[in-house]
Amino acid sequence: MTKKVEEKQEVTIVFAGDSGDGIQLTGTQFTNTNALYGNDISTFPDYPAEIRAPQGTLAGVSGFQLKFGSIEVATPGDDCDVLVAMNAAAFKVNIARLKKHGTIIINSDGFNARDLKLAGYENSPLDDKSLNDYRTIQIDITKMTRTTLVDSGLGKKEMDRSRNMFVLGFLYYMYNRKLEGTIEFLKQKFAKKPDLIEANIGVLKAGYHFGDTSEVFTSRYNVKAASLPTGSYRNIMGNQAAALGLIAASQKSGLDLFYGSYPITPASDILHELAKHKNFGVRSFQAEDEIAAMCSVIGASFGGKLGITASSGPGIALKGEAIGLGIMLELPMVIVNVQRGGPSTGLPPKTEQADLLQAFYGRNGEAPMPIVSASTPSDCFNAAFEACRIALEHMTPVFLLSDGYIANGSEPWKFPKSDDLPAITPKFVPAKTDDGTYLPYKRDKNLVRDWALPGMKGYEHRIGGLEKEIDTGNVSYDPDNHEKMVKIRAEKIAKIADSIPLQKVNNGAEKGEVLMLSWGSTYGVVKTAVKECNAKGMAVGHIHLTYLNPFPKNLADLLKNYDHIMVPEINNGQLVKIIRDQFLVDAKGLNKIKGIPFSTKEIIEAIEQKFEGA
């Protein structure tokens, strides 16, 4: 039968199942295909907390949420229109996220007695009336997959690994998408295993044709391309974008990039991405621990390279003493912190804006550092590039803050041409000294010292962690000198405010009752909530900070334009403490510490409560 095609402006889908069900791959392929169709997209991969949780358990559920649309998409969505549940545990963990009258696509084989018991069900939710408010599509995906591959020669375990392709094919039919992109991906992924290419493509097509020939639904859906600015786009994840931003900064500065790192979730993908780009002069080094990684970066920076490292909160704690050495030496380097929940090992796969205070204060002594924060997956490119610019032009280590949400999330990225990127000018010493003497800590008007490399005749100087004498850099225990150097290092960082843009009101009211002051990965959800509140007649402004130390020079004036300031953070209140301290304003925190991002609904409710209270 011919099915009519209904137009949708936006759709939110959640894929959920065991770690071995290929949920992340399925979500990524569906995302990439919609990106090729020109949709605006935002994604939220949700990894299980345990690496090898028993199959069928709640702890082992892996999820992938994406929202795609023909209009602007700034968040992965609050509630979903479609839930794909590969077993009972995935259903139980995610059913509360499904809209009333939403669609559930269920692998009925995942609701057997064993799976129901592991998920904590006494009776199957498929047999009671709890699903009456939803449109339920039950498919024995396991059986359909095995039937498709009955003559493939594969064992049952190998067959079952292709079940995600059946779901993907079914959704491609449901949303009027073609298979070619995923077919090409499968050919590349299994290039050396032709039997797996044939099996996965066969199951993908089986899912598509099942949607076509079954009478599961009478309508297909279509989401047209979004009206994005003209340009060349690609779908990109935050860690990929950060890596490319670092490479771009390396090229624009004329320096080779040295990346010293120790693997840690969720920062490891930066190492994986950079290791692919040796053709751009990238040298990646996997050290034996976090301390060695940081020290290798100091050595590379002393040797004239663009030194970069990345970690998450526990690794940054280990790097702390060596970061202090970088500050004392005043060498350019970038420390990327892809934040996760803590303390200690904390929540490795879960997101949290946990380490802002660590970036501000997490070193012994007075050790100020510039801090740049990324806001979205694609913005990781800009933030990484800017962190490198500040490091190289102001001779200082710089913190770049990302987090698990934006590092693993993805969105369309209009990538720039090299000619459109600003130049980066490292602060190298002149070809020779004017009078034959070199003062390594002599400074320019911005208090920035020159960068002399080993082997440059006439520029020999000491390095080390002991306090430096003004100008000469000799070791000094003089108390007056120490006090002056501490204040000079702080003033040098403060002067960076002269080279960064003035802060703008990102959206909403320029003046009004409430200001939402955000940073990092809360950008999209706060932007969406503020737009909805203003549409309801509430005078709400939104300022989103990229530069967290120093703050933009005009921030204090902007804060005065609002009666109430709310600071939403995925932590227990960190930026709000700094804002109160530096600007003496009665800012209030809006905090969530659950390893998951805010929903738009939560932000809107907080704003409405503020207006009702006022």
pLDDT tens sequence across 13-53: 999 999 889 999 999 999 999 999 999 999 999 998 777 78
Q: How confident is the model at residue 469 (pLDDT cuts 50, 70, 90)?
A: very high
The more confidently predicted of residues 65 and 217 is 65
Q: How confident is the model at residue 614 (pLDDT cuts 50, 70, 90)?
A: low
pLDDT of residue 51: 73
pLDDT of residue 458: 86
pLDDT tens digits along 503-517: 999 999 999 999 999
| Claim to verify: residue 9 and residue 128 sit in the same structural domain | yes
Q: Is the pLDDT of residue 410 over 80?
A: yes
Across 204-218, 280-294, 353-367, 588-602, least confident range: 204-218
Task: Confirm whether 229 is domain-assigned.
Answer: no
| Claim to verify: residue 264 and residue 129 sit in the same structural domain | no
Task: Confirm whether 404 is domain-assigned.
Answer: yes
| Claim to verify: residue 212 and residue 264 sit in the same structural domain | no
| Claim to verify: residue 276 and residue 211 sit in the same structural domain | no
pLDDT of residue 50: 78
pLDDT tens digits along 297-341: 999 999 999 999 999 999 999 999 999 999 999 999 999 999 999
- Residues contacting residue 486 through CB under 8 Å, at least 6 positions apart: 365, 366
pLDDT of residue 178: 96
Task: Confirm whether 459 is domain-assigned.
Answer: no
Task: Confirm whether 481 is domain-assigned.
Answer: no
Calculate the average pLDDT of the chain: 95
Domain boundary among 419, 437, 455: 419
pLDDT of residue 434: 61
pLDDT tens digits along 175-191: 999 999 999 999 999 99
Q: Is the pLDDT of residue 551 over 70?
A: yes
Task: Confirm whether 395 is domain-assigned.
Answer: yes
Q: Give the residue from 566, 609, 569 showing the smallest Cα distance to 593.
A: 569
Across 27-31, 126-130, 324-328, 554-558, least confident range: 126-130
- Residues contacting residue 576 through CB under 8 Å, at least 6 positions apart: 567, 569, 587, 588, 589
Q: Is the pLDDT of residue 384 over 80?
A: yes
pLDDT of residue 290: 98
| Claim to verify: residue 175 and residue 242 sit in the same structural domain | no
Phi, psi of 110, deg, nearest 5: -85, 10
pLDDT of residue 1: 60
| Separation CA 565–CA 514 (nearest Å) | 6
pLDDT of residue 340: 97
pLDDT tens digits along 414-460: 999 999 999 999 999 986 656 668 899 999 999 999 999 998 988 98
| Separation CA 381–CA 367 (nearest Å) | 26
Which residues constitute the domain of residue 382?
Answer: 234-419
| Claim to verify: residue 157 and residue 53 sit in the same structural domain | yes
| Separation CA 598–CA 519 (nearest Å) | 13
Phi, psi of 184, deg, nearest 5: -65, -40
Phi, psi of 371, deg, nearest 5: -130, 125
pLDDT tens digits along 197-212: 999 999 999 999 999 9
Average pLDDT, integer, range 529-535: 97
CATH code of the domain covering residue 207 = 3.40.920.10
| Claim to verify: residue 177 and residue 266 sit in the same structural domain | no
Q: Give the residue from 327, 312, 322 showing the smallest Cα distance to 358.
A: 312
Contact 399, 335 (CB under 8 A): yes
| Claim to verify: residue 371 and residue 397 sit in the same structural domain | yes
| Claim to verify: residue 184 and residue 245 sit in the same structural domain | no
Average pLDDT, integer, range 242-269: 97
* Element (DSSP H or E) covering residue 564: strand 562-569
Average pLDDT, integer, range 251-262: 98
pLDDT tens digits along 83-109: 999 999 999 999 999 999 999 999 999
Would you list the DSSP string of 456-513?
A: -TT------SSPBPTBT--B---HHHHHHHHHHHHHHHHGGGGGSPPP---EE-SSEE
Average pLDDT, integer, range 345-361: 95
Phi, psi of 93, deg, nearest 5: -70, -30
Task: Confirm whether 476 is domain-assigned.
Answer: no
Q: How confident is the model at residue 218 (pLDDT cuts 50, 70, 90)?
A: confident
| Claim to verify: residue 252 and residue 319 sit in the same structural domain | yes
The more confidently predicted of residues 456 and 370 is 370
Average pLDDT, integer, range 223-252: 95
| Claim to verify: residue 270 and residue 383 sit in the same structural domain | yes
pLDDT of residue 48: 87
pLDDT of residue 435: 66
Domain total of the chain: 3
Task: Confirm whether 435 is domain-assigned.
Answer: no
| Claim to verify: residue 321 and residue 374 sit in the same structural domain | yes
| Separation CA 529–CA 380 (nearest Å) | 22
CATH code of the domain covering residue 241 = 3.40.50.970
Task: Confirm whether 463 is domain-assigned.
Answer: no
